[in-house]
């Protein structure tokens, strides 16, 4: 760079702040001192840092998924579908980021993981409470899972509240009914603490939406946003399963699950069954 260019650069950037004695810095705003000091390796092994950071970042993304999904649920309840669309589209983009993280974790070899795996004890991603809250928010309710969280009374209370809260799919079905589409009464008054199960009237209502797109455009767009979310979630689960198989094979998980065999069974779980089944009927 010539001297003249250096001078020009200094002139164009002369407004940059350098005095932060009485001002908040970028690091302070993000509380980076807390975030970046939260990677505590128990083994001291080089590759444990990768393992910790991947899971911490995933939990941060899940926090944002919950933030957006809860707001979308509220928007749909209030009849503001367009606001919900923006939030649900963001959820799908976040999901794509979490899926990409498995590519990074898969650089961990079986030999490297075994250097620190025993330090995890019984700690496992199976115990991720935010992941359970995401399942609850999408309608896959499993009350028995709350046993894992009895150690923390506040957390147990949060999960119990999430269990009793209508899911994204519950409020979407109510939106169908509000639009004049027939939904069985028992579905509109169902026990939201129970896992959602397929219902004929719900499929018939969604099918009507897909056959009359112009009339029910907002509901049609809502349906496709829901399909996006389940699609991405299942892709995340598949990449999780394959990454685990690549690193530990068919060993039992640290949390006591059957590992890969359990993760394969999870792939059969469905959140919005009618939205997938109706595709055969159209």
Q: Report yes or no: 143 and 137 within 8 Å, Cβ to Cβ.
A: no
Contact residues for 181 (Cβ-Cβ < 8 A; gap 6+): 205, 208, 209
One DSSP character per residue, 177-212 reads: HHTT----HHHHT--TTSPP---HHHHHHHHHHHHS
Which tokens sit at 42?
Answer: 């128990």
CA distance 206 to 181: 9
113 labelled binding-site residue: yes
CA distance 57 to 79: 33
Half-sphere exposure of 78 (CA within 13 A, CB side): 10
247 labelled binding-site residue: no
One DSSP character per residue, 205-271 reads: HHHHHHHSTTTTHHHHHHHHHHHHHHHHHHHHHHHHHHHHHHHHTTPPPTTSS-THHHHHHHTT--S
53 labelled binding-site residue: yes
Rounded to 5 degrees, φ, ψ at 157 are -65, -40
240 labelled binding-site residue: yes
- The beta-carbon contacts of 263-268 under 8 Å, at least 24 apart in sequence, are 263/237, 266/237, 266/241, 267/234, 267/237, 267/238, 267/241
CA distance 33 to 140: 37
216 labelled binding-site residue: no
54 labelled binding-site residue: yes
What are the binding residues for heme?
Answer: 240
What are the binding residues for substrate?
Answer: 51-55, 113, 117, 254
What are the binding residues?
Answer: 51-55, 113, 117, 240, 254
């Amino acid at each position: 760079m010539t001297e003249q260019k250096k001078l020009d650069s200094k002139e164009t950037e002369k407004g940059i702040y350098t005095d932060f004695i009485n001002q908040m810095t970028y690091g302070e705003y993000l509380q980076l001192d807390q975030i970046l000091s939260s990677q505590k390796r128990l083994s001291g092994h080089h590759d444990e840092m990768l393992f910790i950071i991947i899971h911490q970042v995933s939990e941060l993304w899940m926090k944002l998924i919950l933030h957006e999904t809860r707001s979308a649920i509220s928007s749909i309840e209030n009849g503001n579908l367009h606001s919900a669309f923006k939030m649900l589209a963001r959820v799908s983009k976040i999901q794509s980021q979490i899926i990409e993280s498995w590519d990074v974790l898969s650089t961990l070899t079986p030999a490297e993981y075994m250097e620190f795996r025993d330090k995890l004890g019984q700690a496992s991603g199976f115990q991720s409470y935010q992941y359970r809250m995401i399942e609850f928010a999408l309608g896959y309710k499993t009350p028995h899972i709350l046993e894992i969280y009895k150690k923390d009374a506040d957390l147990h209370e949060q999960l119990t509240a999430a269990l009793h809260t209508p899911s994204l799919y519950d409020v979407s079905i109510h939106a169908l009914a509000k639009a004049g589409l027939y939904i069985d009464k028992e579905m509109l008054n169902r026990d939201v603490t129970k896992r959602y199960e397929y219902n004929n009237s719900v499929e018939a209502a969604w099918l009507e939406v897909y056959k009359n797109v112009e009339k029910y455009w907002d509901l049609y767009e809502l349906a496709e946003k829901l399909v996006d979310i389940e699609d991405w979630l299942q892709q995340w689960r598949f990449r999780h399963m394959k990454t685990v198989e690549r690193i530990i094979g068919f060993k039992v998980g640290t949390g006591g699950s059957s590992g890969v065999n359990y993760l394969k069974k999870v792939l059969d779980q469905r959140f919005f069954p009618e939205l997938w089944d109706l595709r055969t009927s159209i």
